Chains A and B, each alone.
Chain A
Amino acid sequence: MSIITRRTAIKIGGAAAALPLIGSRAFAAEKVRAAFVLIGTPDDNGWNYGHDLGRREMIEALGADKVETTVVTNVAEGPDSERVFRELAQQGHDIIFGTSFGYGDAMLKVAKQFPDVKFEWATGYQTAPNLSIYNARFHEGRSVLGTIAGAMSETGIGAYIGSFPIPEVVMGINAFHLAARKQNPDFITKVVYVNSWFDPPKEADAARALIDQGVDVITQHTDGPAALQVAEERGIIGGFGQGADMSAFAPKAHLTSIIDIWSPYYIKAVKSVIDGTWAEGSSWEGLAAGEVVIGPYNEKIPADVVAAAEAVRLGIIDGSVHPFAGPITDNEGTLRVEAGDVIDDGEFWGVDWYAQGVEA
């Protein structure tokens, strides 16, 4: 992390006084300076942890003599983040990663004011000449989880806990459910939205409500181990880690996890700044590029189930398996995707329906 001394702080202030108020870069650093703006703290064992791990691995790969980083935590989405992005740009950072959807408007504004600084918006949907977007195909990991859930569930009922019905969650549910149905054609996925961005006790109660109604495999699209810990306590077949390996919280129930690995992208992006080859772009990689990784399988998963899960994982990597291959009927009985067709990347964000057998 960069530590700015009192002297440099004064230098920034002094140099800036001569510049227009919007400011521009007050001094040039020898190293490339990268900044990461997080919505929470790196010790959340989930989303923010993943980004911070990616940052550390990026430094390791490129060398601490080539790059130095700044991390800002607990940055609220909206105008508060705009101030942080501007501050980081003014401090002379070369590339700034904003790791939450709600930073977008602020990043687009600040990017316009600092054309020399590169901006990277995680989970974003709109680029600019100095703003790229990047995301990961988490739903590919959901297909692997769904395969395990479908094969292992004894009740045939799985569950998915989400915060709010946003497209990424809807598609995570569909990927999970479609894969589970390949293992068990009668599989049912119950969906509970906690309708809050952050409420671990409510997530835990949602898990209780689901398990009480026959669910024996549970997955969640919220940060933190709340649901997994309930799975452990109740002794159901299991649940999955989200964002990072969470087996410490639930050694018996933790079947496997989707691990976010951002380092391949962070290495590529920062290296392109060092080389002077950075360009506006949009990245959406998954299992194949190693940005979505399936964690270790719990010992209690039978070998044939591991094999099935691996087949899906390897199939997605080599392109022989598609998470959204038709025919897909929605849960109201309408045929949404013809046999032989798939939901492609362009159609992905427009999906607002659930596959047949999803109870939401």
Chain B
Amino acid sequence: MQFRFEKRAEPSRTMLYVTPVAAVLLTMVLGAIIFTIIGYDGIGAVREIFFTPLTNSLKWQDLAVKAAPPLIIGGGLSIGYRANVWNIGAEGQYIVGGLAATGVALLTQDMSGWWILPLMGIAGIAGGMAYVAVPAFLRVRLKVNEILTTLMLTYVAVNILNYLVFGPWKSPTSFGQPQTVAFNDSQSLPYIIEGTIVQAGAPIAIIVALVAWFVMSRTMFGFQVTTVGAAPKAAAYAGFSANKTILAVLFISGGLAGLAGMLEAAGPFGRMVPQFPSNYGFTAIIVAFLGRLHPIGVLFAGVVLAITFVGGEVAQTTIALPNPAVGIFQAMMLFLLLAGDVLVRYRIVRAGATGGREAI
């Protein structure tokens, strides 16, 4: 009996929603089996990584904090990916956004006022946009592949950060350690839920997702982005400018990455340190794909990924599961989701002995 793929005329709506859930469930099953075989508590690993963060209410605030940056960045990236524009250097734009906000904080060190945080936010967005401007310009003017330029610039951003915190920005009061001074109260995000550690990042992440959803599904711009990505010729015929779309989505993704950088710097970090790059820019790429480039899907994906991060730490302390196991779970989840993609676009057809075909 032979199976083969047959392309669907329309992507399957059912599969679109079923496959991500199936990927997560299958990851749990396979993960439990694999980790049991190699000598760990496989079922315990799945329980701690995927369920404890949800059942233990103490972990909810951690999820909110950990999910926010990749959600904000992933929301922007997914719009760009829809347009077939591959900014994979959001980590660099996140760093530069954080640095721009820090720059404002250092200039307003002795000041206070409500206006400082918004100014830092604007600086963060501008920083992220400025950092993506070079790849954007090269892409539309010279058709330089943005995958490569954005990635290369990420490593340059890390070096800019190191240069600043080891050099001109080094705090005079932290015993020569490479870090800036701590931000003052006017430069730090307030806690929005009394008694928790949840700052502005989480609600902003939700707002970003909702706005992105509205823009992508209800506005002309969203239609334009999707058309340029899926059918560039039709887009040109319809009078959409591919270059303008590319610029717009790159600046959106860069600006959001920069905003995420500002929110992390002024939030959980509270100062600029060499450890600021937290891989959120890369995590966001996974989030965008797990969420199927759909703003609301991204929202769920971001939370799922945050669960695995937080749960991985729980599993370490409770069942002594080694830290790298989390990476294997995350990779497996992504592999399975990407494999499931095929079911959205294709149906499996069985070529029977009678010559007839049965669709599954």
- Residues of A near any B CB (own CB < 8 A): 1-4, 6, 9-10, 12-13, 16-17, 20-23, 35, 41, 70, 72-80, 82-84, 86-88, 90-91, 101-102, 105, 109, 125, 164-167, 170, 195, 197, 349-350, 352
Contact = CB atoms under 8 A, between A and B. Distances in A.
B57 A17 contact: yes
Contacts of B320: 1, 3
B323 to A, nearest CB: 4
21 contacts: A1-B320, A3-B320, A4-B317, A6-B44, A6-B47, A13-B58, A41-B323, A74-B324, A75-B313, A76-B275, A78-B273, A78-B276, A79-B269, A83-B313, A86-B197, A87-B62, A87-B314, A91-B318, A102-B273, A105-B271, A166-B177
A79 B195 contact: no
Interface string B217-237: 000000000000000000000
B177 to A, nearest CB: 6
Contact of A76 (B162, B278, B317): B278
A83 B57 contact: no
A70 B47 CA distance: 19
Given A76-B275, A83-B65, A352 B58 contact: no
B275 A21 contact: no
A320 to B, nearest CB: 28
| Residues of B contacting A: mostly | helix
Interface string B165-177: 0100000001111
B35 interface: no
Contact of B317 (A70, A79, A125): A70
A6 B193 CA distance: 30
B269 A166 contact: no
B176 A80 contact: no
Contacts of B295: none
A95 to B, nearest CB: 15
Nearest to B198: A21
B161 to A, nearest CB: 12
Contacts of B276: 78
A82 to B, nearest CB: 7
B346 interface: no
Interface of B: 44, 47-48, 52, 55-62, 65-66, 162, 166, 174-178, 182, 193, 195-197, 264, 267-271, 273-276, 278, 310, 313-314, 316-320, 322-324
Nearest to A84: B313
A13 B195 CA distance: 18
B313 A78 contact: no
A41 B182 CA distance: 29
Which 5 A-B pairs have CB atoms at the shortest separation, nearest pair first? Answer: A79-B268, A167-B176, A349-B175, A74-B323, A13-B56
Given A17-B57, A70-B317, A166 B193 contact: no
Nearest to B319: A3
A56 to B, nearest CB: 15
B318 A21 contact: no
Contacts of B197: 22, 82, 86, 109
A79 B313 contact: no
A165 B57 CA distance: 43
Between A13, A16, A79, A91, the greatest number of chain B beta carbons within 10 A of the residue's beta carbon is seen for: A79
Contacts of A197: 274
Nearest to A23: B58
Interface centre among A6, A16, A109 (most CB of B within 10 A): A6
Nearest to A101: B177
B313 A87 contact: yes
Contacts of B66: 83
A75 B177 CA distance: 19
A73 B65 contact: no
A22 B175 contact: no
Given A16-B56, A23-B58, A83-B66, 13 more contacts: A1-B320, A13-B52, A13-B55, A21-B57, A21-B61, A80-B278, A91-B317, A101-B177, A102-B275, A125-B174, A166-B178, A350-B175, A350-B176
A78 B278 contact: yes
Contacts of A86: 58, 62, 197
B275 A77 contact: yes
Contacts of B323: 41, 73-74
Given A3-B319, A16-B58, A9 B166 contact: no
Given A6-B47, A349-B175, A13 B57 contact: yes
Given A21-B57, A23-B58, A125 B318 contact: no
Nearest to A110: B197
Nearest to B63: A83
A70 to B, nearest CB: 5
Contacts of B65: 79, 83
A88 B62 CA distance: 13
Contacts of A22: 61, 195-197
A13 B311 CA distance: 14
Contact of B269 (A1, A13, A105): A105
Contacts of B322: 73
A166 B166 CA distance: 9
Nearest to A78: B275
A21 B195 contact: yes
A167 B278 contact: no
A72 B317 contact: yes
Contacts of B58: 12-13, 16, 21, 23, 86-87, 90
Nearest to A100: B275
A117 B276 CA distance: 27
A331 B34 CA distance: 59
Contacts of A73: 316, 322-323
Given A3-B318, A16-B56, A21-B57, A82 B175 contact: no
